[in-house]
Amino acid sequence: MEVNLTVSYDFSGKVALVTGASGGIGRATALAFARAGASVVVSDVNAAGGEETVALAAAAGGTAIFHPCDVADPAAVKALVARAVGHFGRLDFGHNNAGITNLTADEWDDEVWRRSLAINLDGVMHCMREEAAAMLDHGGGAIVNTASINGFTGNARQPAYVATKHGVIGLTRHGALKWARDNIRVNAVCPGVIETPMTDAVARNPDLRRAMEALTPMGRMGQPDEVAGAVLWLCSVQASFVTGHPLVIDGGATVS
């Protein structure tokens, strides 16, 4: 399905950092920021995908650089934010999108559990901590974390994913309170089933795709641009009185 988002923002002179930006929601957000005039720091452990996102941003007339980072490593995150500030002079927006899911692994396994928490939850904390410190030096900013509808509900297959996404919403609410008087707003997007590389195996199987689409009242999978549009709105002045909010983008999946 093609999604045409007609709303436009002017982020000229602003700097955005997006993790997990080699594809899917992260890439869509990085490109949306670039098209809106922001300078973008693209980050991921997938260097080839990250560099491709940078090239797509340039082709769209935007400015972007790539910096590799494993968000589970606090030193690497510190270096990532330092690169953003060192290269562009400031940091205004952070979209903490890097995460993993384990559709074919046993999340009760200790190693899988620890890696899930290290990336999905620790990684968000590392990014929030460093981004906020940089924003405090330049008058504030906006942080958006990628949670999930599994941060509100549960599923029987993914204990680690569910636990981490509940945790991301909690961290988001904490950050909103911590920096409320510092002109730093902290929100989260909570996608449902979105058509990304993470769900590619499902999308390519007709039976599985129909089953996933049937879980959504709108009868389809969401598109990365539909989440990216919400991220940009949460970073914009139109959302200047919105903080601590987990914004559900799920085609009605959590309504029923």
Whether 4 shows a pLDDT value over 80: the answer reads no
Which pLDDT band holds residue 234 (cuts at 50, 70, 90)? Answer: very high
Instruction: Tell me how far the alpha carbon of residue 42 is from its chain's centroid.
Output: 12
Query: What is the model's pLDDT at position 202?
Result: 62
Q: Please list the active-site residues.
A: 161
Which pLDDT band holds residue 200 (cuts at 50, 70, 90)? Answer: low
**Can you tell me the distance from the alpha carbon of 230 to that of 145, in angstroms, rounded to the nearest whole number?**
11
Helix, strand, coil abundance in the chain, percent, nearest 5: 50, 15, 35
Percent of the chain with pLDDT over 70: 95
- Classify residue 250 by its DSSP letter: S
Tokens of 204: 């390519």
Which pLDDT band holds residue 221 (cuts at 50, 70, 90)? Answer: confident
C-alpha distances (whole Å) from 235 to each of 18, 118, 163, 185 are 12, 26, 26, 8
- In degrees to the nearest 10, what's the CA dihedral of 45, 48, 51, 57? -100
Q: For all residues of the chain together, what is the average pLDDT?
A: 93
Query: What is the model's pLDDT at position 95?
Result: 99
Whether 85 shows a pLDDT value over 90: the answer reads yes
Which pLDDT band holds residue 214 (cuts at 50, 70, 90)? Answer: confident
- 3-state SS record for 93-130: EEEECCCCCCCCCCCCCHHHHHHHHHHHHHHHHHHHHH
Which tens digits make up the pLDDT trace of 32-82? Answer: 999 999 999 999 999 999 999 999 999 999 999 999 999 999 999 999 999
Which pLDDT band holds residue 187 (cuts at 50, 70, 90)? Answer: very high
Q: Which residue has the tokens 């720091």?
A: 41
For the ranges 109-118, 193-202, 218-227, 232-241, the lowest mean pLDDT is seen at 193-202
For the ranges 90-99, 101-110, 163-172, the lowest mean pLDDT is seen at 101-110
| Residues in contact with 136: Cβ distance below 8 Å, sequence separation at least 6, in sequence order | 179, 182, 184
Which pLDDT band holds residue 211 (cuts at 50, 70, 90)? Answer: confident
Closest CA to 236 of 19, 7, 22, 25: 7
Q: What is the average per-residue pLDDT within 148-175? A: 95
Percent of the chain with pLDDT over 90: 82
Annotated domain spans of the chain? 15-245
Does domain 15-245 fall under CATH 3.30.420.40? My reply is no
More confident residue, 200 or 130: 130
- Whole-model pTM? 0.94
Which pLDDT band holds residue 242 (cuts at 50, 70, 90)? Answer: very high
Strand 63-68 to strand 93-96: parallel, antiparallel, or no bridges (unpaired)?
unpaired
